A and B are shown apart, each in its own frame.
Chain A
Amino acid sequence: QFALTQPRSVSGSPGQTVTISCAGTSSDVGRYDYVSWYQQHPGKAPKLMIYDVTKRPSGVPDRFSGSKSGNTASLTIFGLQAEDEADYFCCSYAGTYTWVFGGGAKLTVL
């Protein structure tokens, strides 16, 4: 249903490291270095966490890191904290001013 494939849920204990994958195709993730990640807490608007695959906006902790290999992008959160519990969505530019999102991954901090 969604163009990019993410795991439905991931979990980790405080202080641990978790990685959320985002699988696309050679037409989006594999073609452009324009993958972004958004964090969404319940009832809130999405918040930009990573852009251009690896860049962090000011104010986003350096515990958040992005990467890409082939058609798959990843978001890694180091030193997990309770406030990181949220939904995370990946997004890729798909050319001609269009974008595709993933279905979202629910991160649970145990």
Chain B
Amino acid sequence: EVQLVESGGGLIQPGGSLRLSCAASAFTFSNYAMTWVRQAPGKGLEWVSAISQTGDRTYYADSVKGRFTISRDNSNNTLFLGMSSLRADDTAVYYCATKSGSGEYYFNNWGQGSLVTVSS
């Protein structure tokens, strides 16, 4: 069964930096584009970023562009999200998810999420 396990969340002060990790198992990680989606407390889902299978192409929502960096390590089956210049409105549970196959545009497997709280 596909497993995605996020880690690295926590309490961070405004303006600080944090890196989330997403450990993948039970599927061929390098065959799938990956994405991060976040959910502020009691709010809806927001797409944050996506990365191609090889990591050569990255994409960001306008709300995080220039502050967040998505990357991946296919040799260790791990996805990352580097976050800097964090603001209070970045407070959310961050989910990693697999994007469906090439030519498909949905998210078929999700992790349990990692909570990031930006507060002084």
Which residues of A are in contact with B by a Cβ distance under 8 Å?
Answer: 2, 32, 34, 36, 38, 44-48, 51-52, 57, 89, 91, 93, 96-104
The stretch from B9-17, B23-31, B45-53 touching chain A is B45-53
Instruction: Count A-B contacts at CB 8 Å.
Output: 64
Q: Are B44 and A102 in contact (CB under 8 A)?
A: yes
Q: Which residues of B contact A57 (CB under 8 A)?
A: 108
Q: Mark B15-44, 1 if CB is under 8 A from A, else 0.
A: 000000000000000000001010000011
Known: A45-B112, A45-B113, A97-B57. A103 touches B106 (CB 8 A): no
B55 to chain A minimum Cβ distance, whole angstroms, is 13
Question: Interface size bucket, B side?
Answer: 20 to 34
B interface residues, Cβ below 8 angstroms from A: 35, 37, 43-47, 50, 57, 59, 61, 95, 100, 104-108, 110-113
**Are A91 and B106 closer than 8 Å at their CB atoms?**
yes
Given pairs A34-B104, A51-B100, A104-B45, 6 additional interface contacts (CB within 8 A): A46-B110, A48-B106, A89-B45, A97-B59, A99-B47, A104-B43
> In the docked arrangement, what's the CA distance between A98 and B104, Å?
13
- Taking CB atoms, residues of chain B closer than 8 Å to A101 are 37, 44-47
Enumerate chain B residues within 8 angstroms of A99, measured Cβ to Cβ: 35, 47, 50, 105
* 11 A–B pairs (Cβ distance < 8 Å), ordered by A: A34-B104, A38-B107, A45-B95, A45-B111, A46-B107, A48-B106, A51-B100, A97-B59, A98-B47, A98-B50, A101-B45
User: Nearest-CB distance from B21 to chain A (Å)?
Assistant: 16
Closest to B61 in A: A98
- A34-B105, A51-B106, A96-B59 known; A103 and B43 CB under 8 Å? yes
